[in-house]
Amino acid sequence: MSVRSFDPSSMPTVAMVGGGQLARMTHQAAIALGQRLRVLAADLDDPAAQVTPDVVLGSHTDLAALRKVAIGSHALTFDHEHVPTEHLEALVAEGVNVQPPPQALVYAQDKLAMRRRLSELGVPVPAFAPVATVADAVAFGVEHEWRVVLKAVRGGYDGRGVWMPESEEVAAAIVKEQLEQGVSLLVEAKVDLRRELSAMVARSPFGQAATWPVVETVQRAGQCAVVIAPAPELSDDLATEAETLALNLARELGAVGAMAVELFETRDGALLVNELAMRPHNSGHWGMDGARTGQFEQHVRAVLDYPLGSTEPLAPVVVMANILGAPSAPEMSMDERLHHLFARLPEAKVHLYGKGERKDRKIGHVNVLGADVAVVREQAERAAHWMSHAIWTDGWDPHE
């Protein structure tokens, strides 16, 4: 019988709530640090549960399951923001090292609490109001000439929980339906945006913080499709403003780990905060190949209070394109698509999440590094589209 000579328990254990792709890629980073990630997953088939031997099966709304994954861990952290705040407070009271702490995480969970707190801090956000009745939404809609956005206060992601009604009738129907289902709502002004940016930062409990370059995020159908690092043609002043904002917010709110500040750049060159994510975020995936320290390693380092790594970019331009499920999965297998992609674009770095192909589902991403934004973006998008659809957007035929 052979005996393992390395005792994994001599290294810290990070427990992550949620078994999605963010946990899977955090696990990948933990491996390099001599650790494994323990995950709370709903299903053994979840992306992270497929790859870590340390899985607790259960729901993130079940305090007993949360306790089970937390006990013995050095830090408990998240791949999504849907854990009830009161459960996290209970865990903290029991001595669990919850990072980010619940009093910080709430600003990534509750969009109304976030809008209020940021307004108090003097951080620019779109005009907003809570919606307790149809009349609240209508009054705001009339005031803003129906350039408004309704949002679920909690639980939204990838554009689910976001509505853009353009009339009183449509708004009233949405509000009525959502309130009846027990969904709390807010309404805010629809921003006339030039584009969307993301400022990412990581912060440790000790208070060390490091930003990555500010990126441009391109959304399609309310969902992130492409990220360009750094954001093209962003003035030094605006880049500094965005990074400073992210650093200040991380400190003021007591965030720990990776945090994304989703920003709107308005047509007149101002920045408004859209929302916060206190975890690794889609806008940081480029850094897995494109930065000295990517967000997943940095998140683990931060929640364990290690010194943070250099966030220096490794190329003048890095583009990340999400591989989104096609309306129906192509006949060609994923494996065969990968062969063809590698044959055609050896520079493409591919990350697949082990997820089934469903329309618009994030099933992987491609990173390409280079020097020219247009060239790099075209390559990354062409590669991602190929992986989704088994079609080359430039008409190239692998069998010719």
Ligand X SMILES: Nc1ncnc2c1ncn2[C@@H]1O[C@H](COP(=O)(O)OP(=O)(O)OP(=O)(O)O)[C@@H](O)[C@H]1O
Q: What are the residues binding ligand X (CB under 6 A)?
A: 126, 149, 151, 156-162, 188, 190-191, 193, 196, 219, 222-223, 262, 274-275
Q: Which entry of Mg ion, ligand X, none binds 126, CB below 5 to 8 A by partner kind? A: ligand X
Residue 336, phi then psi, degrees to nearest 5: -70, -40
| Matching residue, tokens 């990074």 | 243
In angstroms, give the least distance from the CB of 268 to Mg ion. Answer: 22
Rounded Cα–Cα distance for residues 86 and 82 (Å): 12
Instruction: Choose the one of ligand X, Mg ion, none that binds residue 158, judging by a C-beta under 5 to 8 angstroms depending on kind.
Output: ligand X
Choose between 218 and 329: whose C-beta lies nearer to ligand X. Answer: 218
Smallest gap from Cβ 260 to ligand X, in A, equals: 8
Nearest to 303 by CA among 68, 79, 7, 41: 79
Q: In terms of CB distance, is 147 or 339 closer to ligand X? A: 147
Least distance in angstroms from the C-beta of 115 to Mg ion: 13
Give least dist CB 184 to Mg ion, A: 18
Residue 262 to residue 197: CA distance in whole angstroms: 6
Least separation, in Å, of the C-beta of 151 and ligand X? Answer: 6
Q: How far is the CB of 156 from ligand X (least distance, A)?
A: 4
> Which x/- pattern, by CB under 5 A, does the window 270-299 give for Mg ion?
-----x------------------------
- Cβ neighbours for 141, distance < 8 A, ≥ 6 positions apart: 148, 165, 168, 171, 187
Query: Is there a binding annotation on residue 189?
Result: yes
Of residues 71, 87, 53, the one with CA closest to residue 15: 71
List beta partners, residue 189: 148
Tell whether 359 is in a known binding site. Answer: no
Alpha helix segments (H runs only) across the chain = 21-32, 63-70, 85-93, 102-109, 111-120, 134-143, 168-180, 236-253, 287-290, 295-303, 334-344, 373-389
Q: State the minimum distance, in angstroms, from the CB of residue 162 to Mg ion.
A: 8
Looking at the DSSP assignment, which residues form a beta bridge with residue 350? Answer: 366
- Residue with smaller CB distance to Mg ion, 157 or 342: 157
CB closer to ligand X out of 151 and 349: 151
Site string for Mg ion, 210-249 (x = CB under 5 A): ----------------------------------------
Sign of the torsion angle spanned by Cα atoms 305, 51, 279, 240: positive
Spatial contact of 235 and 326, defined as CB atoms under 8 Å apart: no
Binds 18: which of Mg ion, ligand X, none (CB < 5-8 Å by kind): none
Q: Which does 161 bind (CB under 5 to 8 A by kind): Mg ion, ligand X, none?
A: ligand X
Rounded distance between C-alpha atoms, residue 242 and residue 209, angstroms: 14
- Which candidate, 181, 186, 117, places its Cα nearest to that of 149? 186
Size of the site for Mg ion (CB under 5 A): 2
Can you say whether the dihedral through the CA atoms of 385, 389, 392, 394 is positive or negative?
negative
The option from ligand X, Mg ion, none interacting with 188 (CB < 5 to 8 A, set by class) reads: ligand X
- Binding residues, by number, are 111, 151, 188-191, 196, 274-275
> Known binding site for ATP: residues?
111, 151, 188-191, 196, 274-275
